[in-house]
Chain A
Amino acid sequence: MKRETDYGYEIKPVYTPKDIEGLDYTRDVGDPGSYPFVRGYYPNGYRNRVWTRRMTAGLGSSMRTNESLKQYRAMGQTQGMLVICDRPSALPIDADHPVGRREAGVLGWHEASLLEFEELMDGIPLTGQSITLLGSSAMSAMRLAYIVVLAEKRGVDLKEVHGSVTEYPFCHTFGQTDHLPLDLLIKLWLDSSEYIVRNKIRMRSGILSQHFQESGGNNAQALAVEIAQLKELLGLLVNERGLDWEDVAFLPYELSSIGMRFFEEIAKVRALRRMFAKMARETFHARSDKACQLLISVHTSGRTMAYQQPLNNIARCAIETLAGAIAGCTAIDNACLDNAHAEPSPFAARMSLNTQHIVSDETGVTDVTDPLAGSYYVEYLTNKVEAEAYKILQQIEEQGGMIAAVKKGYVHNMMEESARKKQKEVESGERLIVGVNELVIPPEEEEAIPIQSVEASDAEEIAQRMENWKKTRDIPLLKEKIARLYSDAKKGDKYNLMPSIIEAVKAYGTAGEIMGVIRMAYGYHYDPLEMIYCPFDLK
């Protein structure tokens, strides 16, 4: 068995004060609540507020996902909801697109219009819990518009709504479904982010290392990529959009993937807090402590959920949840025991949610903040992963920063190489996975688990409904709003499209229509798959 870190450094049998020589507690670690925030942002840790224990929802129609959310609430998920979108709306194309209708509702809910968001949120409050919608960067501006419009319709103060509905523009580089050209994704991300910051909306934007890591990247690479993208994207908001760092610092949140390398996962999150704090002060000249703090959520790794003997994944999920809790985070959502098979069944969802409550309520982990601080090993690992991440960050900067490194394929190659290495380590038996390359049982002895699936008929039903519903809209009003959006989209990169997107969403323009028209203004085909044409007469 290999005894080295996830990022390739040998691990010794014991660690002593020598391994952290030169570590100055006040300067390099600090009390919880003090710079550089290795130990977290709150002196009382989870005693003030336990992390949000939530589950990913989203499959099939908006009505079906609404039912799941209500089920989760009944299971005890009341602090926040997390919903993932389907493939067509992530692209985005509409359900009634010839390809969209084959996969509407696959992998998540179909979120292509305000109508669907209204159905998703039927009987569910917009406030009093965090609202998180995930699944693509292209939909960021649309989702933000859904929030703005539904709050207005319900007479809810927009400033009372919190959560996150927008996402960083690199998802598709890391295996997600986005299909807009990168430059347009960046422009729209900047628009939605600027709108959030200028209007003081309490919505965060996901700038995540999770997708990168779940696609095979290692812990040190994940840190480097996270800091590189934060630096460049937030830098654009400060330098190009003229926003103050003190406000911009409240925008991002990180979803950190926590796998099975227990101590390394904890060290990674501790190092990330220090790296962000340093960047805030040194690069962006942060004036307040608050502007040196990155909101960090945890996703327990789907990649580590084995297909073989899926009930073993309950144990993995518990260990990863404990690591996430010890590392310190604001929310956890678990990959479920059936992650290698399908989207979470109600059975698997309940197991995951219960696992989080077992960790938070039975182990005592919420009693003491950052309990592993001062461990020679954990402090060593925190320093080590940080040092390694800075080396990789340096390489990304030499490529010209995150955007340039993505365009050159540098980040993708790094990720692929790491994924291959991990695969080889498992095949050679250097890394052991129970049920996969150790304690294997014949397939016929495998325990059966319930599987939640979406059928082709479900997709067709969503498509049919959209096709019929589209005809019932106020077409003259929609045409007017779409025409305005089109002309605004021609006004250049820095002209913020959020107000005209909000107007088009309010008139029930769909994702395919709204993004299609923006695409056209930028000289692209209306349809990312080049199969259908713009139904509007644009001048």
Chain B
Amino acid sequence: MTDRQRIKVLISVIGLDGHFTGAELVSRILMDAGMEVVYLGIYQTPEMIVNAAIQESVDVIGISSHASNYEQIHLLIDLLKKNNMNDVPVICGGAIPKQHAEVLIKKGVSKIFPPQSTSESIVEYIVSTVKEKA
């Protein structure tokens, strides 16, 4: 966020997950908080998400997930590393059990928001993470 005033966040549902309600809701929350949101929608592969993140030069990637094997998120982290994009934090939200959340954090996901997280906590986290980076 060096030459830009507004924080730019990519929000996507990953893989074959069709549960878009959470992703749409969070997109709205971030827009209401003054952020720019690139909303990719559903059926996005890790490759598509990384490409969009590069093209749009986003500050943060937000992945919504509803019960999965989380393989797709691991692939996304690997791809980001491969493209030297370790500095773009990945945050996840949704029905992610604790055991899997711990594995994802170890893998490199920066933060996981469980169901019923508040708008405030999500916005605050993104703002402080982007500030830290800058």
Which positions in A face B, CB cutoff 8 Å?
87-88, 90-91, 99-100, 102-103, 105-107, 172, 175-179, 215-216, 306-308, 339-343, 415-416, 419-420, 423, 426-427, 433, 436, 448, 451, 453-456, 458-459, 529
Residue ID in chain A nearest B96 by CB atoms? A341
Give the complex CA separation of A419 and B22 in angstroms. Answer: 9
CB distance from A84 to the nearest CB of B (A): 11
- A-B contact list, 18 entries, CB within 8 Å: A88-B16, A103-B68, A107-B68, A175-B19, A215-B21, A306-B115, A307-B95, A339-B95, A342-B97, A343-B67, A416-B25, A419-B21, A419-B25, A423-B119, A427-B120, A433-B116, A436-B116, A455-B69
The answer to whether A178 touches B18, judged by C-beta atoms less than 8 angstroms apart, is: yes
The answer to whether B43 touches A529, judged by C-beta atoms less than 8 angstroms apart, is: yes
Give the complex CA separation of A308 and B99 in angstroms. Answer: 15
Contact with A along B111-134 (1 / 0, CB 8 A): 000111011100000000000000
Contacts of B6 in A (CB 8 A): none
State whether A102 and B15 are in contact (beta carbons under 8 Å apart), knowing that A107-B67, A175-B20 are contacts in the complex: yes
Contact with A along B80-106 (1 / 0, CB 8 A): 000000000000000111111000000
Additional pairs, 16, CB under 8 Å, beyond known A106-B68, A419-B21: A103-B68, A103-B69, A105-B69, A106-B16, A106-B69, A177-B17, A177-B18, A215-B19, A306-B116, A308-B114, A340-B95, A342-B67, A419-B24, A427-B119, A433-B116, A459-B71
The answer to whether B116 touches A426, judged by C-beta atoms less than 8 angstroms apart, is: yes
State whether A176 and B71 are in contact (beta carbons under 8 Å apart), knowing that A416-B24, A453-B100 are contacts in the complex: no
Residue ID in chain A nearest B70 by CB atoms? A456
CB distance from B99 to the nearest CB of A (A): 6
Q: Is B28 an interface residue (CB 8 A)?
A: yes
Contacts of B66 in A (CB 8 A): 107
Contacts of B69 in A (CB 8 A): 102-103, 105-106, 453-456, 458-459
Give the complex CA separation of A415 and B24 in angstroms. Answer: 11
State whether A341 and B72 are in contact (beta carbons under 8 Å apart), knowing that A87-B17, A102-B15, A177-B17 are contacts in the complex: no
Contacts of A343 in B (CB 8 A): 67
Contacts of A459 in B (CB 8 A): 69, 71
Contacts of B120 in A (CB 8 A): 427
